[in-house]
Structure 1
Amino acid sequence: MKGLRHPRNDRTLNPSGNPSIHDVIDAVDAGRRRFVQGVTASASLATAGGLTLSGLVQTVQAAPVPAGQGFPGIGFESIPAALAPLPDAVRVPAGYTVEAFVAWGDPIVAGGVAFAPDASNTATEQARQFGAHCDGMYLFPFTGAGGQATPDRGVLVVNNEYTHEEILFPDGQVGASGYGIAKTRKSQAAHGVSVVEARRLNGRWTAVKNSPYGRRITANTPMRIAGPAAGHALLQTVEYAITDAGSSATGLTTDGRVAQGTINNCGNGVTPWGTFLTCEENWNGNFGSTAALPSATSGDTGKLYNRYGVTASGNGYRWHTTDPRFDLSTNPNETNLFGWIVEIDPYDPKSKPVKRTALGRFKHESAQYVVDAANRLGVYMGDDERNEYIYKFVAAGAFDPLNRAANRDLLDTGVLYVARFDADLTGRWIPLLPETLGTDGVALRHNPNFAGADDAEVLAKILIKARMAGDAVGATMMDRPEWTGARPRIGGYQQVELYCTLTNNNRRGSTPVTATTPAANAADGSTTAGSARPAVDAANPRANNLYGHVIRWRENGASVLATTFTWDIFVQAGDSATTKTPKSQYEGNIVDTPAGSADFGAPDGLWFDPFGRLWVQTDQAGNAQGDWVNIGANCMVCADPNTGEARRFLTAPPNAEVTGIAMSADGRALFVGIQHPGEDAPASNPQQTSSWPASQWPLRADGVTPLPFGRPRSSVVVITKDDGGIIGT
């Protein structure tokens, strides 16, 4: 994910020296770079009437994409790309209606006040309002008679990733009023997670303003740390008393089992027992230092800062200048409390969020669970940085579908794995355990980065330094692994099939290669953050991967316990009308009719709806200029996982990202996030490129309440089918 104050992630932070697999890719026949479907898939296609890629390509645009192999088909036509000059609106296909649901600054907690169009709301007010820059989300339904999900009411939990400081305050970050603790506190209050009760009344969805379920979880909300790393010295920090007026050190040190807040909450996941998993992504940019930081070779602290991209200046935020909790010169371990998966119970407003350390610490983008036929639980995760890794966590215990309480701590014990993709279209999950051998033949317990008094301490260090552990064991560097999605059933046969969006990588195959910009990632975790320039390989086959791709794999034995898998590239995104050369490097292989009608680039959000349709959301500049002149604004497409055929369903306002998606229990309402419309606008002219959503809806869905005009606002929209049918049919 991105934004004005959000790292562009165009720098590699992976310094391992893992051997690239580019030296063996030439031995692989291009014709073999397709997924090995096997007997099950072939039989399923035959049963479905012989659906073939060539057959689907010959269909006319207006014809629905047929059903088959556990896929229900697509029943709408692609809408045109949003090209310059961009409409300041969200567009959807004919037969659908899109409405505003909730926007930054809307009151969602009892006692909340309305959004002030001049951004004059205080930090205290913001803490009762919907947060900034919405991202991953999920709608948790209430249950009715017989335990059935209620289609008209639920709790929508939404991540609030970051803040655009120039429009968050009336005069910008450092305008006439300067920058002080009041601005820091408002920025912190706009981060985190928003919990909103959603109700459908008379066919219209509304956000309940005074619901007892309404809740804001911010950068200062108390949390618990659990799992193998809890209590480790690297998680022990200066204790502060936090008030609106500032953060005051108490003179004590925490025990490494408590944390304050969650920030840069990007993609998400859920658990099969009904809790929300929020993913801490670019948290490093919120920290800074009023003194020089330790060097990259000065022990745990310096190496960790170096490996995770922590700098003295931060990334656009100024929290460390007013809040000593974020000043690394006075509180050096605070960064280690971020970069985790945080579990939140949406149904219990008084519950304390829990940071689950067993799932590893990195720039988490999403967390997709799979429960296999044996009720074993796996969680699949991407680390959103160029040249980072794909991980999975396998719980030690089995999921109990009949006892919610029995699963409450299931994420605290298990094994974290990192993926290696080989050029023969097979892969391996490498366990990150003390006994695992690195590429140098030395067990991680004897690696200086992880050595400890016992294996419990070694494991804690491995989890805290998950990126460095991936370096040591030879994981495959990927082109920004973001959202993961699961398709657990295919054609009636049980499978475990995963997908992951790889957004882009302008460092892949680039030059120069020097001592400070290495061609590969050093296994000892010592290379400066952002310096690697790896060669192309089978899983990441394009140099300067401008438009990105989607990779998928199947676990051998249809079990999350598998340590091996088979894989292919599901789609390479691109621009069919590109004039860049060589054209094959940039045009992609999207299946659409007519050709080019559903072109997209920079795939980010990825989600299977309950009916088996695959939805992909994009994150690029969003201005329909330069490399995006033909693709246009960011969009959301719906794809057939069997053939890759795609149709464009939604386009975004100017400079906005499409991110976050959730569906009502009956499939008749789709909630979608529109993040940072009008991004890059200055404080002096917040509406320079967009006034959305007010530009599209002067009144709310009730037709009476005005939508405040004044500056663009990240929002969640709700989409329904005019005939009342299921979305996508």
Structure 2
Amino acid sequence: MKLSRSQFLKYLGKGIGALTLAKSGMLFGSSKQFRTLPSLAAKKGGFPKFQPIDPSDRDSLILPDGYRYNTIALYGDRINSKGDTFGFNSDFNCFLPFVGKKDSGLLWNNHETLGALEYFVNGYDSHKPGPNLRTDQQIEKYLYALGGSVISVSKKNGDWTMTPDSKYGRRIHGLTEFRLTGPAAGSPAVGNKNKVFGTFANCSGGLTFWNTVLSCEENYDYVTEPCKLTNETHYGWVIEVDPFDSESVPVKHTALGRFAHENAATVLSTSGKLVVYMGDDAKDQHIYKYVSKNSYNPSLGAGNSKLLEEGTLYAANFDKGIWVSLDFDSSEILRNSKKENGENRFLSQADVLVYCPDAAKTLGATPMDRPEDIEIHPLDGTVFVALTNNDKHGNLFGQIIRILEKDGDHAGLEFDFEVFVAGGKRSGFAAPDNLAFDGSGNLWMVTDMSGKNLNRSVYKKFGNNGVFVIPTSGPDSGRAFQFGSSPIGAELTGLWFTPDQNELFISVQHPGETTKDYRNPTSHWPHGGDSIPKSGVVAIYLK
């Protein structure tokens, strides 16, 4: 069974709009003569025209004239009556309205890493050379700050606010128990474990058709070493959380593979199979998709979670335009692959999934330039992928590509692709990261220039990280218009529209990441003055 377009858009929270089939983008940048965005003409339930802003290096969240924002939750805010607190370094957002209520619901927010600002969290100076001297108490505090938060939010007096004592408020963190599913669960490849503890390095994610959240473990190795965790095979998975059931045990779906997951974009194929697109955010790594064995059945509700336990994982070969199956039983190449010492590289499908990048490389998947967010165009079904950059090959500014599945079938094995828009001086952006579509089919994108590059050398012209809007049709197709600029050292992440398209949830992650002297942080967002910076999630509105 295939979901209707209106149902699909409802689940994505993107709204409904009209758009002709998208055309190929051109490598044009925004210029002074295009100071408004025609394809965002004012309409009911959508953003109106705006005057694009210029790049900035100011320590502010800057928006176009006519827009404002307020903070919803910041690190350390209480989220329930038990005293749980909002985690650190906010990333992916996912809003799930309560039934019949567009102005209240649950907001999931990822918490990725602590990084250099760990000093502000538990007093440990991670810049200090020498052995890892973190105490058990510091490690516990470190792990608790990561993972994700479920918070209850509602719109009151025109502003989105959090309810700090909601029964739905919940933390999923680096100490939480998880159930493993899929072929690797209980296998020797994961130490014969069916249960594991902790999630962290949660970058982006996705939403299922049965209203659960998918959150993706990315650079888990940034956390396992400082927290003295020994079994890395328990991390690097896609997790699933039911935000409406605070007593439910979250799961890690091993059938989706283990790698530096950026996100998980879900769509239904023409035959009703669940398809999940994923990128491995590392240099020279791969793009994947998972196709369920069985078809989606709306009457099963949360029972559809089983679709994520049994299916086929594929990696993309762009040279041939094909999806390569990472199935141990049907691949002689995988079964015969050897390590340098002559031992078999893979002994089972569990090994293939646990060491997924090795399997993809063995089967000839194409190495890419840091595949980050992947999103499905809500009106024509094409697949947009942000390739952030890869300085190993001189790709300093990244690009966004579009995958066109053969016959529009997301479960198919053949595809074509094109470069939709490339970063650089002409386009006005560098290092594309998270993506989202509005109801008119415009692509919203945030950038992820690293702290070491911000406002330096060839990156200086781009200013701080920002938000851009890129039409996917019409005369401005492929033309980037800057909508927002982040505080110093921060990146903006987790774009998610309210159902009526009148507000946009977005995270401000690691403001002041460029700090070297903790007595003098480079950012004081959001409170200003001499305050220390705090990450968090905000809502953007019309004034």
Give the TM-score taking structure 1 as reference length. Answer: 0.66
Residues 248-259 of structure 1: pairs in structure 2 closer than 5 A: 255-259=192-196
Alignment partners' CA distance in 2, 1:377 and 1:408:
10
Indicate the residue corresponding to 1:311 in structure 2: none
Partner of residue 120 from structure 2, selected from 148, 157, 167: 167
Alignment partners' CA distance in 2, 1:614 and 1:605:
10
Alignment partners' CA distance in 1, 2:127 and 2:362:
43
Partner of residue 233 from structure 1, selected from 161, 179, 188: 188
Alignment partners' CA distance in 2, 1:234 and 1:657:
36
How far off is 1:174 after superposition? 8.6
Q: Does 1:61 align with 2:16?
A: no
Indicate the residue corresponding to 2:407 in structure 1: 557
Indicate the residue corresponding to 2:155 in structure 1: 200
> Are the counterparts in 1 of residues 25 and 478 from structure 2 also a CA contact under 8 Å?
no
How far off is 1:60 after superposition? 4.2
Q: Deviations over 1:112-164 (max 9, x none)?
A: 2xxxxxxxxxxxxxxx11101011111111112xxxxx211011101100113
Q: Secondary structure at the residue paired with 1:166? A: helix
Are the structure 2 counterparts of residues 488 and 445 from structure 1 closer, same or farther at C-alpha, using a change threshold of 3 Å?
Answer: farther
Alignment partners' CA distance in 2, 1:569 and 1:575:
16
Indicate the residue corresponding to 2:4 in structure 1: none
Indicate the residue corresponding to 1:293 in structure 2: none
> Are the counterparts in 2 of residues 167 and 682 from structure 1 also a CA contact under 8 Å?
no
Larger Rg: 1
Q: Which runs of 5+ in 1 are unaligned?
A: 1-42, 113-127, 145-149, 237-254, 289-316, 321-325, 329-333, 450-455, 491-495, 509-543, 577-589, 591-598, 699-708, 723-729
Partner of residue 142 from structure 1, selected from 93, 98, 117: 98
Indicate the residue corresponding to 1:221 in structure 2: 176
Indicate the residue corresponding to 1:77 in structure 2: 51
Calculate the aligned-residue CA RMSD, in Å. Answer: 2.7
Alignment partners' CA distance in 2, 1:59 and 1:659:
27
Residues 303-314 of structure 1: pairs in structure 2 closer than 5 A: none
Q: Does 1:462 align with 2:352?
A: yes
Indicate the residue corresponding to 2:62 in structure 1: 91
Indicate the residue corresponding to 1:681 in structure 2: 515
> Are the counterparts in 2 of residues 171 and 683 from structure 1 also a CA contact under 8 Å?
no
Indicate the residue corresponding to 1:520 in structure 2: none
How far off is 1:167 after superposition? 1.9
How far off is 1:367 after superposition? 0.6
How far off is 1:73 after superposition? 9.1
Indicate the residue corresponding to 2:15 in structure 1: none
Partner of residue 458 from structure 2, selected from 621, 624, 627: 627
Partner of residue 429 from structure 1, selected from 323, 345, 350: 323
Indicate the residue corresponding to 1:106 in structure 2: 77
Indicate the residue corresponding to 1:116 in structure 2: none
How far off is 1:66 after superposition? 3.3
Are the structure 2 counterparts of residues 415 and 58 from structure 1 closer, same or farther at C-alpha, using a change threshold of 3 Å?
Answer: same
Q: Secondary structure at the residue paired with 2:137? A: helix
How far off is 1:228 after superposition? 1.1
Are the structure 2 counterparts of residues 375 and 105 from structure 1 closer, same or farther at C-alpha, using a change threshold of 3 Å?
Answer: same
Indicate the residue corresponding to 1:714 in structure 2: 535
Alignment partners' CA distance in 1, 2:143 and 2:499:
33
Indicate the residue corresponding to 1:472 in structure 2: 362
Letter of the 2:264 partner, please give it.
A
> Are the counterparts in 1 of residues 495 and 506 from structure 2 also a CA contact under 8 Å?
yes
Are the structure 2 counterparts of residues 501 and 179 from structure 1 closer, same or farther at C-alpha, using a change threshold of 3 Å?
Answer: same
Indicate the residue corresponding to 1:158 in structure 2: 109
Indicate the residue corresponding to 1:31 in structure 2: none
Alignment partners' CA distance in 2, 1:660 and 1:561:
27
Residues 256-295 of structure 1: pairs in structure 2 closer than 5 A: 256-288=193-225
Aligned positions, number? 505
Residues 635-674 of structure 1: pairs in structure 2 closer than 5 A: 635-642=466-473, 643-674=477-508
Are the structure 2 counterparts of residues 266 and 51 from structure 1 closer, same or farther at C-alpha, using a change threshold of 3 Å?
Answer: closer
Are the structure 2 counterparts of residues 65 and 436 from structure 1 closer, same or farther at C-alpha, using a change threshold of 3 Å?
Answer: farther
Alignment partners' CA distance in 2, 1:284 and 1:200:
38
Alignment partners' CA distance in 2, 1:663 and 1:66:
17
Q: Secondary structure at the residue paired with 2:78? A: coil
Q: Secondary structure at the residue paired with 2:483? A: strand
Alignment partners' CA distance in 1, 2:279 and 2:26:
29
Letter of the 1:153 partner, please give it.
S
Q: Secondary structure at the residue paired with 1:351? A: coil
> Are the counterparts in 2 of residues 393 and 414 from structure 1 also a CA contact under 8 Å?
yes
Q: Deviations over 1:404-446 (max 9, x none)?
A: 1331211001000000112xxx611000112454xxxx43223
Residues 366-381 of structure 1: pairs in structure 2 closer than 5 A: 366-381=263-278
Q: Secondary structure at the residue paired with 1:66? A: helix
Indicate the residue corresponding to 1:618 in structure 2: 447
How far off is 1:210 after superposition? 0.7
Indicate the residue corresponding to 2:16 in structure 1: none
Partner of residue 132 from structure 1, selected from 68, 81, 88: 88
Alignment partners' CA distance in 2, 1:94 and 1:460:
53
Among the aligned pairs, what percent are the same residue? 34
> Are the counterparts in 2 of residues 280 and 364 from structure 1 also a CA contact under 8 Å?
yes
How far off is 1:645 after superposition? 1.8
Q: Deviations over 1:36-66 (max 9, x none)?
A: xxxxxxx947xx9x99979998994244323
Alignment partners' CA distance in 2, 1:58 and 1:403:
51
> Are the counterparts in 1 of residues 174 and 200 from structure 2 also a CA contact under 8 Å?
yes
How far off is 1:209 after superposition? 0.5
Q: Secondary structure at the residue paired with 2:348? A: helix
Q: Does 1:692 align with 2:525?
A: yes
Letter of the 2:143 partner, please give it.
Q
Alignment partners' CA distance in 1, 2:447 and 2:540:
18
Q: Secondary structure at the residue paired with 2:410? A: coil
Indicate the residue corresponding to 1:504 in structure 2: 389
Are the structure 2 counterparts of residues 225 and 79 from structure 1 closer, same or farther at C-alpha, using a change threshold of 3 Å?
Answer: same
Alignment partners' CA distance in 2, 1:620 and 1:659:
12
Are the structure 2 counterparts of residues 286 and 57 from structure 1 closer, same or farther at C-alpha, using a change threshold of 3 Å?
Answer: closer
> Are the counterparts in 2 of residues 166 and 683 from structure 1 also a CA contact under 8 Å?
no
Give the TM-score taking structure 2 as reference length. Answer: 0.87
Q: Which runs of 5+ in 2 are unaligned?
A: 1-18, 340-345
How far off is 1:372 after superposition? 3.0
Q: Does 1:446 align with 2:336?
A: yes
Alignment partners' CA distance in 2, 1:720 and 1:57:
23
Alignment partners' CA distance in 2, 1:200 and 1:348:
22
Indicate the residue corresponding to 2:419 in structure 1: 569
Letter of the 2:119 partner, please give it.
E
Alignment partners' CA distance in 1, 2:32 and 2:63:
22
Are the structure 2 counterparts of residues 58 and 660 from structure 1 closer, same or farther at C-alpha, using a change threshold of 3 Å?
Answer: closer
> Are the counterparts in 1 of residues 39 and 471 from structure 2 also a CA contact under 8 Å?
no
Alignment partners' CA distance in 1, 2:316 and 2:358:
14
